[in-house]
Amino acid sequence: CTNTPNLTTVDSGVDIVGLYTSLVLNSSGNPVISYYDESNGDLKAAVCNDAVCTVRTLITVDNGGDVGSYTSLALNSSGFPIISYIDAINNDLKVAVCDDAACTVRTLTAVDTVGVNGGFTSLALTSSNLPIISYYDAINDDLKTAVCNICQSPTLTTVDNNDSAGTYTSLALNSNGLPVASYYDNGNNDLKLAVCNDAACNNATLTTIDNGDNVGQFSSVALGSDGHPVISYYDVDNSALKLATCNDTTCSSPNLQTVDNSGNMGKWSALALNSSGNAVISYHDETDFDLKLARCNNAACSNPTINVVDGATTITGGYSSLALNSSGFPVISYYSWSGQELKLAVCDDLVCNSATIQTIDSSGNVGWHTSLALNSLGFPIISYYDATNDDLKVAVCNNATCTQPTIMTIDTVGDVGRYTSLQLTSDDYPIISYYDLTNEDLKMAVCNDIACTQPTLTTIDSPGIVGQYSSLALNDDGYPVIGYYDGVPNVDLKMAVFDTLLAPNDVTLQLISSSNAALTWSDGRTYNVWQDSSPYFSPCAGEGTLLQQNVLSPVDVSVYLGNPASNHYFKVSALGNDCDISNEVGEFDFALVAGS
């Protein structure tokens, strides 16, 4: 800068604007700047249209409270900004992942919410475009790092917008990976079923399963080996637990059966199918305030075996969630009103004539909205709501009866953690959908280890009041699919579908000869391989050459190391229906230069 510099006022604001700037140049050599608007407490970005920024686009990236100090900015391989910064109200480290060059669409994520975090952030991107952030922990006076592992945005689809539909949602995926959801139609007081005909559920077959006077609350759905849905639910008018057994995939002519009407039975029903394809259902007995279990002895459940699991001397059995272990014995998480605690029942036989009962968490009023899954060892993992502290929690059991669980608080920002739904990845890492009551949003926690010590928290859907009654499933590729209620103003059933996995994190490129190299990765999954002469190419923009599609490692690629030398750039991308997302989340770039 020996010559006189060009000085440009980029944003003059109303009062104080432009603190904590971070600047990078895009592929055209034009500046992109993140900064803090102190007057409004906002994170902002300026995207310049020329080298001296005489023309620029100003964007308010986050205006939720006092946000935007200590910014750090990087551009991904598509030129889209990713920004780390501080939420001064909640003392959180946050990251904004922009979905276009001007950041008109972005995903905001609280990365670290424990303690006072995020000062003096500095951000860089991995070769897969994932943020790595260093920052200051003011409580412990420590340097910390955060490595993000999920940054993609889901496809959001309104599945049923007739009247008021979508509460008490339960979701399963059929053999084609397509969502099937049972739910309550509030407008007509009916039990309904949505069977999606494509991955994003843009086209669903909607069927009214039971149109009795007031039926369908507390629904739970599972699919038989033939793909036919089986649904447990509560009949309000008759105070009964009912079961719908479908005779085809869309349930055009279901068999309806009353399972238990010996009092007020059937709230908080949870259903699983045993090895014979018959229903096993946990539920609440509101007459005697017990946890009960019904085991159907045939497909229609005309003569079930019913037992009280817990409650002889207590008021218990709320928010139940059920799984069957490798012996077919039921394992049930639930809430006890008497102790205001989370409990677990591990049945000693198929019909639960007796059970081992454990108190999992009694630290306050805890155990609402439980969701349970069994890991690869058969040990229970339970997500639930802590009503004392308004937090989302997870209990990770270290044995089959959970005598010494590891309790983790997952999200503490605001009133969060109702309507939890939990599934486990192939690595036994929990993924949880849940409701943020403070912001009236649907959120998701993606755990990065078995005990969920460092979860990634993401807001999935935020306009209006959305996210109650969430139900989550993982498809065969491990992609989350979430059914949930879009309350106000739309009162609809909605679906969030993720169609992207991350690309492998250990890709290597090894020169074999003067004309061949090998790309390798170790996770055993299939990916797409691209090539171009430019390191900045984007397959989603029609750039680059698709060398091989849906391939396993190793992949042989051709290179030219003659004279003159050539540079070869390869990208290994995750598979997905949405090319734009797939190739922006999970790319690895390798430069193989002649003579190296």
Residue 186 lies in a domain: yes
**φ, ψ (nearest 5 deg) of residue 533:** -90, -10
Confidence of residue 455 (pLDDT cuts 50, 70, 90): confident
Residues 24 and 137 in one domain: yes
Residues 109 and 189 in one domain: no
CA distance 91 to 475: 35
Residue 455 lies in a domain: no
Q: What pLDDT is stored for residue 337 in this prediction?
A: 97
Residues 72 and 126 in one domain: yes
Among 595, 396, 387, residue whose Cα is nearest residue 511 = 595
Q: What pLDDT is stored for residue 577 in this prediction?
A: 31
Residues 137 and 166 in one domain: no
Q: DSSP secondary structure string, 298-363? A: STT-SS-EEEEEE-SSS-EEEEEEEEE-TTS-EEEEEEETTTTEEEEEEESSTT-SSEEEEEEE-S
Residues 21 and 115 in one domain: yes
- Choose one of 261, 294, 314: the last residue of a domain: 261
Apex 518 CA angle, 512 and 524, nearest 5: 145
- For 327-372, how does the pLDDT look when each residue is reduced to its tens digit (9 = 90+)? 999 999 999 999 999 999 999 999 999 999 999 999 999 999 999 9
- Beta bridge pairs of residue 131: 125
- The two counts, helices (H) then strands (E), for the chain are 1, 46
Residues 219 and 131 in one domain: no
Residue 85 lies in a domain: yes
Residues 104 and 169 in one domain: no
Total-model pTM: 0.67
CB 167 within 8 A of CB 173: no
What is the span of the domain harbouring residue 560? 508-593
- CATH number, position 580: 2.60.40
- CATH number, position 77: 2.120.10.10
Residues 129 and 81 in one domain: yes
Residue 518 lies in a domain: yes
Residues 194 and 90 in one domain: no
Q: What pLDDT is stored for residue 202 in this prediction?
A: 85
Q: Is the pLDDT of residue 286 over 80?
A: yes
Residues 129 and 190 in one domain: no
Residues 36 and 139 in one domain: yes
**Number of folded domains in the chain?**
3
- Choose one of 204, 235, 261: the last residue of a domain: 261
Chain CA centroid to CA 312, Å: 38
Residue 531 lies in a domain: yes
Picking from 18-22, 209-213, 215-219, 460-464, which range would have the lowest pLDDT averaged per residue?
460-464
- Choose one of 147, 179, 197: the last residue of a domain: 147
Residue 170 lies in a domain: yes
CB 103 within 8 A of CB 47: yes
Q: What pLDDT is stored for residue 378 in this prediction?
A: 97
What are the structure tokens assigned to 434, written together? 């849940």
Residues 49 and 121 in one domain: yes
Residue 56 lies in a domain: yes
What are the structure tokens assigned to 495, written together? 């679906």
Picking from 151-155, 170-174, 484-488, which range would have the lowest pLDDT averaged per residue?
151-155
Q: What pLDDT is stored for residue 581 in this prediction?
A: 30
Percent of all residues in the chain with a pLDDT value above 70, rounded to a whole number: 86
Residue 60 lies in a domain: yes
Q: Is the pLDDT of residue 47 over 60?
A: yes
Q: Is the pLDDT of residue 585 over 90?
A: no
Confidence of residue 252 (pLDDT cuts 50, 70, 90): very high
Mean pLDDT of the chain: 86
